[in-house]
């Protein structure tokens, strides 16, 4: 890879306009003569960067604008406002040049030829991207070692299982050695074994090959195991750009500290910002008490300093709960009639 794989997004927006269809024959005539147009802001003024060799998770609920953002970054859509650069290229202005710098996998679509064996699809992509034969063969060997492709790459694509097809799509997206990879729900519908195989492959591509990866997914396990940073959007607007720890601190307000007291008869009392949730013999459970509650690690320190304990554990809200709280914190998006 000779191109630096950075992504720069500045004030990127995309608005779609639709016509409101009125009910009945008279309504249809009015819609034809005097159509009412409604603007839907799929993406609204988002800005972020992705550094070379970084894996960023672009998260949000269904309809948040994730796929629209990726389509602009891959050059499929042109933004209404703002700008983007992918590996130094404006993707929607130089689509062919951008296509050589990126790989893309969309979980519900394939770039392979449906009626051809996988190996022949790889050969067509080799010719399209003008990859030298020796490089092509070396990459296929590497991908086969990581994704175990050779057992089915002589099978027609239409006969592949979902997991087999997505593994082949990953290899196909990287055959021309792009510095930037876009993955839109790549593991949707996969079983846990294949999911982990794909995750290992992605870790290898980021850590060993230095590829820049932008990932969208609803699988929070995938986010926890892969993402270095998260950009959270809702209703097309950027809500948060930071690490998973920052998201947990901002939205993961629920936690519990379970401590086993050395003296089962010792009196347990609330601490500043920490409530006594319940007690079961020697085990005491503490939780946050109001807006002044400390972070979980500060609470852990206070409990250890206050009581003589033999065992202690932390229960934090899982990432799905944290994301749900983050989504709910954002005001509803309003459409405009134009």
* Highest mean pLDDT: which range of 58-67, 133-142, 223-232: 133-142
Q: Contact at 8 Å (CB) between 40 and 335?
A: yes
In this model, does residue 33 exceed pLDDT 80?
no
Calculate mean pLDDT across residues 164-182: 93
CA-to-CA dists, residue 322 to 95, 140, 248, 329, angstroms: 38, 40, 6, 11
- Fold of the domain spanning 7-249: Rossmann fold (3.40.50)
Q: pLDDT grade, residue 329 (50/70/90)?
A: low
Tokens describing residue 134: 């020796």
Unique residue bearing structure tokens 């996988």: 118
How many Cβ atoms sit within 10 Å of the Cβ of residue 213? 23
Output phi, psi for 333, to 5 deg: -80, 140
Higher pLDDT, 80 or 256: 80
- Read off the tokens for 218: 């609803």
Mean pLDDT of all residues in 67-77: 93
Name the residue among 128, 155, 156, 123 with its Cα closest to residue 139: 123
Compare 314 and 74 and report the one with higher pLDDT. 74
pLDDT (mean) for 76-93: 94
Taking 50 as the threshold, does the pLDDT of residue 335 lie above it?
A: no
Which H/E stretch holds residue 49? strand 36-50
DSSP string covering 210-225, please?
A: --EEEEE-S-HHHHHH
Q: What is the pLDDT of residues 288-311, one digit of tens each?
A: 877 677 877 788 888 888 899 899
The continuous run of DSSP H or E covering 250 comes out as helix 244-251
* Matching residue, tokens 């994730």: 66
Question: Which two structure tokens, joined as six digits, stand for 261?
Answer: 């007291």
DSSP code for 157: G
Exposed, middle or buried, 168 (CB in 10 Å: 0-12/13-18/19+)? buried
Q: Is the predicted pLDDT of residue 217 greater than 70, yes or no?
A: yes
Please report the DSSP string for 253-319 in residue order.
--EEEEEEESSTTS----BTTEEEEEEETTEEEEEE-STTPPPHHHHHHHHHHHS-EEEEEEEE--H
Question: What is the 8-class DSSP label of residue 188?
Answer: T
Q: Are strands 36-50 and 55-59 parallel, antiparallel or unpaired?
A: unpaired
Residue with tokens 């209703």: 235
The pLDDT assigned to 244 comes to: 79
pLDDT at 280: 87
Identify the band that residue 31 occupies on the pLDDT scale cut at 50, 70 and 90: low
In which region does residue 177 sit, left (phi positive, over 0), alpha (psi from -120 to 50) or beta (all else)?
Answer: left
> Which has the closest alpha carbon to 258: 315, 301, 302?
315
All residues at 6 or more sequence positions from 134 whose CB lies less than 8 Å from its CB, including other chains: none
Query: Residue 2 above 60 pLDDT?
Result: no
Domain boundaries, the chain: 7-249, 255-316
**Higher confidence at residue 49 or residue 253?**
49
The reported pLDDT for the residue numbered 250 is 72
pLDDT of residue 154: 92
Mean pLDDT over 150-172 rounds to: 91
CB atoms closer than 10 angstroms to residue 18: 12
Longest CA span, the chain: 82
Cα separation, 35 vs 19, whole angstroms: 6
């Amino acid at each position: 890879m000779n191109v630096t794989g950075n992504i720069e997004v500045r004030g990127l927006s995309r608005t779609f306009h639709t016509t409101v269809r009125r009910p009945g024959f008279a309504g249809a005539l009015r819609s034809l003569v005097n159509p009412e147009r409604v603007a839907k802001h799929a993406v609204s003024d988002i800005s972020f960067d992705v550094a070379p060799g970084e894996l960023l998770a672009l998260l949000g609920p269904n309809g948040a604008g994730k796929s629209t953002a990726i389509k602009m970054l891959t050059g499929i859509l042109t933004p209404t406002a703002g700008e983007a650069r992918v590996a130094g290229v404006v993707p929607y202005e130089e689509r062919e040049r951008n296509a050589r710098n990126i790989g893309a996998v969309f979980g519900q679509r394939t770039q392979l030829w449906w009626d051809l064996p996988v190996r022949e699809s790889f050969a067509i992509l080799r010719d399209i991207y003008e990859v030298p034969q020796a490089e092509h063969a070396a990459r296929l060997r590497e991908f086969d070692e990581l994704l175990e492709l050779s057992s089915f790459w002589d099978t027609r694509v239409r006969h592949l299982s979902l997991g087999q097809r997505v593994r082949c799509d990953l290899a196909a997206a990287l055959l021309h050695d792009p510095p930037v990879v876009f993955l839109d729900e790549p593991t949707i519908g996969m079983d846990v074994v294949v999911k982990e195989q794909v995750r290992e492959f992605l870790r290898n591509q980021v850590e060993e090959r230095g590829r820049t990866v932008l990932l969208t997914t609803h699988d929070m396990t995938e986010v926890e195991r892969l993402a270095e940073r998260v950009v959270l959007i809702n209703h097309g607007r950027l809500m948060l750009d930071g690490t998973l720890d920052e998201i947990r601190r901002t939205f993961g307000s629920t936690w519990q500290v379970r401590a086993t007291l050395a003296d089962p008869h010792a009196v347990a009392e609330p601490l500043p910002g920490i409530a006594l949730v319940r007690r079961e013999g020697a085990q005491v459970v503490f939780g946050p008490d109001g807006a002044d509650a400390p972070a979980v690690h500060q609470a852990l320190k206070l409990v250890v300093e206050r009581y003589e304990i033999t065992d202690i554990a932390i229960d934090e809200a899982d990432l799905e709960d944290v994301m749900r709280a983050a989504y709910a914190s954002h005001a509803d998006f309003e459409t405009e009639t134009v």
